[in-house]
Amino acid sequence: MTSLVPTSVQTMTKFRAAVSVRFAAALCAVLFGLCAHAQDYPSRPVRIVVPFAPGGPNDIIVRLVAQKLTETWEQPFLVENRPGAGGNIGTDFVAKAAPDGYTLLSVGPGSLIINPLIGKVPYDTTRDFAPVTLMARAPNALVAHPSLPAGSVKELIEFARSQPGRVNYGSGGSGSTPHLAGAMFAAMAGIALTHVPYKGTAPATADLIGGQVQIAFLGIPTVLPYVKSGKLRILAVTGKHRSPELPGVPTVDEAGVPGYELSPWYGLLAPAGTPREIVVRLGDEVSRSLRTAEMKEKLAMQGAEVVGGSPEEFAALIQADSSTWSRVVKDAGIRIE
């Protein structure tokens, strides 16, 4: 019986079927390759970028994590500091890196959330990154140079009111959490402070110790050694509760600024498009290492609290904090062009 379907149509049908088969085979090969790649991960050194100078809480915390990952997987996890532009340079570097799991970002809400709210950045937080896990939280400490005639938060506020703008506060860069911490403090206390941005926490701390700036809102892991040695004076901590490492130090809320609270976090991210299997494997291993007694103790000594968790939980936190910081930035009237 003669076919009623034209020969050209039959040929096209066969061609489409062949293409479909080949596409399916190619897709299976790609998926199989990704799975095999994830199972072999890591097969070479992994770079973790910190977008600030060495010595800050982000740097300290991720170096502890990197050491545990190196021991577990027997591949070097190397921390690389790329400071500049309030964290934007290092953050953008990872945003544009190959999504293969071998370039990661250790970051807090500063460059990830706050900077895009106060100015133009060359990356998109939602589009360009794959959250891996939340490593730790570490409230800041309000610290002062011993030469400042203020031994408490109330005395600091009184001094700042008597001499508007004279009190300088340093931070790790415009848009960093120490910057916003100071802006929040000034707004809620009704005083004028002068912000002095640096290219990272370490140089800001060095100038605070040297007396070039009078106060700063810095991570407890950073300032604790200098407080113990008497080079800095701690006035309060910024968290909701007192720090277990500093039980005698009041919160800013207790010390005279009701409602003040700031607890920065530090998380690990990969470039968007990194295979899901690698992201999950990384997150699971980081969380597992963080929950060991050894790591809890080491981070507690630095004034930090272990968190961990899934990529989805970290992504939800980023979204929630974006809304929170948006309100803070608007209320403080901060904008950098």
Task: Give me the CATH code for the 140-255 domain, please.
Answer: 3.40.190.10
pLDDT of residue 237: 95
What is the H or E stretch that residue 159 is in? helix 153-162
The pLDDT score that the predictor gives to residue 138 is: 84
Check if the beta carbon of residue 275 is closer than 8 Å to that of residue 34: yes
The structure tokens listed for 233 are 């004076």
pLDDT of residue 224: 82
Q: 278: which residues sit within 8 A by CB, 6+ positions away? A: 37, 38, 41, 100, 101, 270
Residue with tokens 């003040």: 260
Nearest CA among 235, 227, 228, 222 for reference residue 302: 222
pLDDT at 14: 59
- Do 44-137+264-332 and 140-255 agree at the fold level? yes
* CATH code, residues 44-137+264-332: 3.40.190.150
pLDDT tens for the chain, 337 residues long, are 444 555 555 555 555 555 455 555 555 544 455 454 577 999 999 999 999 889 888 898 999 999 999 999 999 999 999 998 888 999 999 999 999 999 999 999 988 998 899 889 999 999 999 999 999 988 899 999 999 999 999 999 999 999 999 999 999 887 778 888 998 899 899 999 999 998 878 899 999 999 999 999 998 877 888 999 999 999 999 988 898 878 999 999 999 999 998 888 999 999 999 999 999 999 999 999 999 999 999 888 877 889 999 999 999 999 999 988 888 788 767 766 5
Residues 273, 48, 124, 140, CA torsion sign: positive
H or E, element range at 168: strand 168-171
Sorted by where each begins, the domain ranges of the chain are 44-137+264-332, 140-255
Q: What is the pTM of this model?
A: 0.74
